[in-house]
């Protein structure tokens, strides 16, 4: 017989975690999809970027950061960071079972596999995500004859962090990253944005990729997946709370200044609580 599941406190918040402010795109989608839920978002800004670090280091950081959310009584954890989803999901599930832990890789891979007509899919992500092969495996698991081409784009994280999201410089950098996808024989018809920071470069990515390439980002599909799973376990909030707490491990001012591009609403440094891990 299986162990009885502990009763879920439906009024508890959902924890959302990222290496920085990029995961606010996922928080935005979660809030829109589940307006009655409370959220606690943690951006580990002191240790960003995760995408250039080893899997072992990212696992250690992710378990520590999630621990902070767990002590705040979250009923589920959403790993908004693609790098942490790609390399630390198993470690997080083991560390905090039976807490439901959701990542962004599987929902993003499923969306890309669904929309691609030719099965030729490009993935843009961080070095660590590409090296681990999580997106490649997730897409091939769903669509065995797909051809997946993954490219690490660390400069796009820097551009997005600087708010340098349009004009000649981003366009040239994006063109260089997308070169082989478009003109080097890879001939993709779907481009998966496998990093929290890339949705705010969507306009320039779409322009360079051209009309024949469909862009997929995992924020929407992740939010849908999390909402369905939480409703299924009877853990959805019944009373509207719509409260939100934002935590950062460094520089509340920078978090507010850059974060508003990702969240799509004004933020003040006073809205953010500074914590130590
Ligand atoms: N959040 C990371 C990701 O989605 C990007 C920023 C970083 O490298 O920490 O992969």
pLDDT tens series, the chain, 277 aa: 444 455 678 889 999 999 999 999 999 999 999 998 999 999 999 999 999 999 999 999 999 999 999 999 999 999 999 999 999 999 999 999 999 999 999 999 999 999 999 999 999 999 999 999 999 999 999 999 999 999 999 999 999 988 899 999 999 999 999 998 998 888 999 999 999 999 999 999 999 999 999 999 989 899 999 999 998 875 777 666 667 999 999 999 999 999 999 999 999 999 999 999 9
Pick from 18, 27, 201 the residue to mutate for probing ligand 1's pocket: most ligand atoms within 8 Å of its CB.
18
From the CA of 86, give the closest atom in ligand 1.
10
Whether residues 200 and 246 share a domain: the answer is: no
Give how many domains the chain has, as a whole number: 2
Whether residues 99 and 232 share a domain: the answer is: yes
What's the whole-model pTM score?
A: 0.93
Whether residues 111 and 212 share a domain: the answer is: yes
- 1: in domain: no
Identify the residue whose C-alpha is closest to ligand 1 atom 2.
81
Residue ending a domain, choose from 219, 240, 260: 219
Q: Are strands 39-43 and 214-217 parallel, antiparallel or unpaired?
A: unpaired
- 205: in domain: yes
Give me the count of residues in the chain: 277
Whether residues 65 and 150 share a domain: the answer is: no
Whether residues 29 and 109 share a domain: the answer is: no
Whether residues 114 and 215 share a domain: the answer is: yes
**Structural domain that includes position 143:** 105-219
From the CA of 49, give the closest atom in ligand 1.
9
Distance CA 113, CA 148 (A): 10
- 34: in domain: yes
237 close to 37: Cβ distance less than 8 angstroms: yes
Any atom of ligand 1 within 6 Å of the Cβ of 48: yes
Whether residues 19 and 71 share a domain: the answer is: yes
102 close to 81: Cβ distance less than 8 angstroms: no
- 6: in domain: no
Please list the active-site residues: 81, 195
Whether residues 85 and 191 share a domain: the answer is: no
Residue 26 DSSP SS3: helix
Whether residues 226 and 214 share a domain: the answer is: no
Any atom of ligand 1 within 6 Å of the Cβ of 129: yes
| The 120-125 sheet, strands edge to edge | 147-152, 120-125, 190-194, 214-217
- 4: in domain: no
Identify the residue whose C-alpha is closest to ligand 1 atom 1.
81
Whether residues 119 and 82 share a domain: the answer is: no
Whether residues 111 and 165 share a domain: the answer is: yes
Q: 34: domain CATH number?
A: 3.40.50.1860
Any atom of ligand 1 within 6 Å of the Cβ of 221: no
249 close to 277: Cβ distance less than 8 angstroms: yes
Whether residues 118 and 183 share a domain: the answer is: yes
């Amino acid at each position: 017989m299986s162990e009885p599941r502990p009763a879920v406190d439906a009024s508890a918040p959902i924890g959302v975690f990222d290496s920085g402010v990029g995961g606010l795109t996922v928080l935005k989608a979660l809030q829109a999809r589940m307006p009655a839920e409370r959220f606690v978002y943690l951006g580990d800004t002191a240790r960003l970027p995760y995408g250039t670090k080893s899997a072992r280091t990212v696992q250690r950081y992710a378990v520590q950061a999630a621990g902070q959310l767990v002590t705040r009584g979250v009923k589920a954890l959403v790993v908004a960071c693609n790098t942490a989803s790609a390399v630390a999901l198993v470690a997080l599930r083991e560390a905090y079972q039976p807490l439901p832990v959701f990542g962004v890789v599987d929902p993003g891979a499923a969306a890309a596999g669904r929309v691609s007509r030719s099965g030729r899919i490009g993935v843009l992500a961080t070095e660590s995500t590409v090296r681990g092969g999580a997106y490649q495996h997730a897409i091939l698991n769903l669509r065995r004859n797909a051809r997946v081409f993954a490219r690490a784009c660390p400069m796009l994280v820097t551009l997005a962090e600087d708010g340098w999201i349009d004009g000649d410089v981003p366009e040239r950098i994006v063109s260089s990253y997308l070169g082989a996808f478009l003109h080097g024989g890879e001939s993709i018809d779907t481009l998966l944005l496998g990093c929290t920071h890339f949705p705010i470069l969507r306009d320039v990515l779409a322009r360079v990729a051209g009309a024949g390439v469909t862009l997929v980002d995992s924020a929407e599909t992740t939010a849908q997946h999390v909402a369905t799973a939480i409703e299924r376990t009877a853990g959805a909030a019944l009373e509207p709370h719509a409260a939100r707490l934002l935590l950062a491990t460094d520089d509340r001012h920078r978090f507010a200044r850059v974060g508003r591009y990702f969240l799509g609403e004004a933020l003040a440094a006073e809205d953010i609580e500074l914590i130590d891990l």
